[in-house]
């Protein structure tokens, strides 16, 4: 088996064929792999023009969906991502934004969130994300200007992602993950699940959670596959979402279960799904047939 590997997010995005879909969503045309790579280059250039560069932390508060997926990926190509739960209340945003020391906060244009007021009070610049016509496509809008200390594409030892621990035994602590850590995790999961460029991941995990970001999003992209982004899990709509496109195989990145449609299999039913179980603490998988 050929094992593909990369040490940065930019290299990870190089696997997919130009015209193959990369990120999709309900009711909108998918963004191709070529489109995602172009979006990453455009996003890094926009951030650099704002004075944000490698290892500068960018907080993100967006609803689950294709824009949040693409924002995480493209910002990580040239800065440090800090995704936050959009359901946090003002006091929670106050803690996390204070702890992060973020250079900017990105929010969806028109999104009503207490993070805006908290960021303003802390003098953290707010960057608006304006969605495009294609799923996952967007433009960043801000009056912020500057020159970053380190511009251009992130390098393997740069920090790609910072997340907080749950804080069950003490106050939450920041956990930094380097580019090389994130890409290695994505490739190992993709290899364990035997994902291929023909596979489509139905991602229903939160995109501020390590499992949703790495297993549900980066793993299929690292193998040249694609991701179909949803607002979250809805039991009444799950099987309809599985059948939205005529892909040979689908994955729903949620622990548990993660559900796969067999290659060239019949219409998706509970008896034809392949299930793998994953714990919340680690992206390990155990495959079984149902």
Q: What is the CATH number of the domain that holds 111?
A: 3.40.50.12780
16 assigned to some structural domain: no
Domain that holds residue 245: 180-289
At 5-27, the pLDDT tens digits run: 789 999 999 999 999 999 999 88
Measured between alpha carbons, how far is 254 from 27 in angstroms, rounded to an integer?
Answer: 23
Average pLDDT over residues 221-237: 79
Q: Strands 174-178 and 80-83: what pairing? A: unpaired
Helix (H) or strand (E) holding 39: helix 33-49
Average pLDDT over residues 204-227: 93
pLDDT for res 256: 34
**Domains: count for the chain:** 2
191 assigned to some structural domain: yes
Average pLDDT over residues 89-112: 96
Judgement on whether residues 86 and 185 belong to the same structural domain of the protein: no
pLDDT for res 248: 37
Whose structure tokens read 């039913």? 269
Average pLDDT over residues 112-120: 97
Q: Is pLDDT at 275 greater than 60 in this prediction?
A: no
Helix (H) or strand (E) holding 34: helix 33-49
- Other residues' Cβ atoms within 10 Å of the Cβ of residue 200: 25
6 HSE (CA, 13 A, CB side): 23
Q: Longest Cα pair distance anywhere in the chain, in angstroms?
A: 56
3-class DSSP state for residue 171? coil
At 119-153, the pLDDT tens digits run: 999 999 999 999 999 999 999 999 999 999 999 99
Judgement on whether residues 132 and 187 belong to the same structural domain of the protein: no
- Mean pLDDT score across all residues of the chain: 83
Phi, psi of 102 (to 5 degrees): -75, 145
Instruction: State which of 155, 179, 203 marks the end of a domain.
Output: 179
Measured between alpha carbons, how far is 193 from 198 in angstroms, rounded to an integer?
Answer: 13
pLDDT for res 279: 42
Q: Strands 274-277 and 286-289: what pairing? A: antiparallel
pLDDT for res 236: 55
Identify which has the larger pLDDT, 105 or 288.
105
Instruction: State which of 179, 206, 223 marks the end of a domain.
Output: 179
Whole-structure pTM value: 0.83
5 assigned to some structural domain: no
Judgement on whether residues 238 and 123 belong to the same structural domain of the protein: no
Average pLDDT over residues 266-289: 36
Judgement on whether residues 171 and 185 belong to the same structural domain of the protein: no
């Amino acid at each position: 088996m050929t094992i593909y590997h990369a040490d940065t997010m930019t290299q990870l995005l190089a696997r997919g064929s130009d015209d193959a879909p990369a990120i999709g969503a309900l009711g909108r045309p998918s963004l191709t792999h070529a489109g995602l790579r172009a979006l990453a280059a455009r996003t890094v250039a926009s951030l650099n023009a704002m004075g944000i560069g490698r290892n500068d932390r960018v907080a993100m508060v967006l609803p689950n969906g294709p824009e949040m997926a693409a924002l995480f990926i493209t910002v990580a190509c040239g800065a440090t991502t800090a995704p936050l739960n959009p359901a946090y209340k003002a006091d929670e945003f106050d803690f996390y934004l204070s702890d992060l020391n973020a250079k900017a906060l990105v929010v969806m244009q028109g999104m009503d969130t207490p993070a805006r007021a908290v960021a303003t009070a802390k003098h953290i610049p707010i960057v608006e994300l304006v969605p495009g016509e294609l799923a996952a496509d967007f433009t960043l809008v801000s009056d912020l200007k500057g020159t970053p200390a380190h511009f251009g594409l992130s390098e393997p030892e740069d920090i790609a992602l910072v997340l907080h621990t749950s804080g069950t035994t003490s106050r939450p602590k920041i956990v930094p993950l380097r580019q090389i850590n994130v890409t290695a995790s994505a490739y190992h999961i993709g290899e364990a699940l035997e994902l291929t460029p023909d596979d489509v991941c139905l991602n229903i995990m939160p995109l501020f959670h390590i499992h949703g970001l790495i297993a549900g999003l980066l793993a299929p992209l690292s193998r040249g596959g694609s991701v179909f982004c949803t607002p979250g899990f809805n039991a009444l709509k799950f099987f309809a979402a599985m059948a939205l496109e005529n892909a040979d195989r689908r994955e729903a990145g949620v622990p548990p279960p993660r559900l796969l449609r067999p290659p060239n299999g019949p219409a998706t039913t509970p008896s034809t799904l392949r299930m793998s179980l994953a714990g919340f603490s680690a992206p390990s998988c155990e495959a079984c047939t149902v």
